[in-house]
Amino acid sequence: MAKQFKDTFLYFAYGSNLLKKRIRINNPTAEFIGIGRLDGHQLDFMKYSDHWRGTSATIVPTQNAQIHVWGAVWRLHNSDMPALDRQEGVDTNWYFAKSVEVLTPEGETIECRTYQQTVNPPLRDADEELPLERRPSSTYLDCIVNGAIECSLPKEYIIQLKKIPHNGQEASPKMIEKLNK
């Protein structure tokens, strides 16, 4: 599935970069490779983004290997790494890059770059609702859900994503304009 080339890296996207047109705004060479599962991590939302007018997604490590996050695996050129880092706010200490092992549907384990927020919430129970102050905007959540559908993530996972409550806000006009190009 994900053969490595010396001038590229694999990126595991679980948030708005699931959506092809979103990742290609800043990373036009991104090539969709397939999907994968990151075990021992929980999808959550924490830091408020003015661009999105809601919180952005993060992954929270957990000791429970049964908890996992599904995402898209993209191949990018090494020269795109600075643009991806900027998009994720590595320079502003919003996220940090980390290397993770992702399991493909074929059972292959691949090493990918991904991003985790520098400040993460405590783990939530499976039935615990996302607090109002940590909810994403409807635009951001739509990017995630539509990207999950576009990438053919497992149906059960898409159903879970659709249950995430949003804050009733839309993204900034500038962000909506970028998404509609």
- Give the catalytic positions in this structure: 88
Query: Which ranges of 39-154 would DSSP assign to H, the alpha helix?
Result: 81-87, 138-150
Q: 135: which residues sit within 8 A by CB, 6+ positions away?
A: 45, 54, 55, 164, 165, 166, 167
The Cα-based distances of 5 to 10, 76, 117 in angstroms read 10, 10, 28
Secondary structure of residue 8 in the 3-state scheme: strand
What span, in angstroms and rounded, lies between the C-alpha atoms of 95 and 58? 8
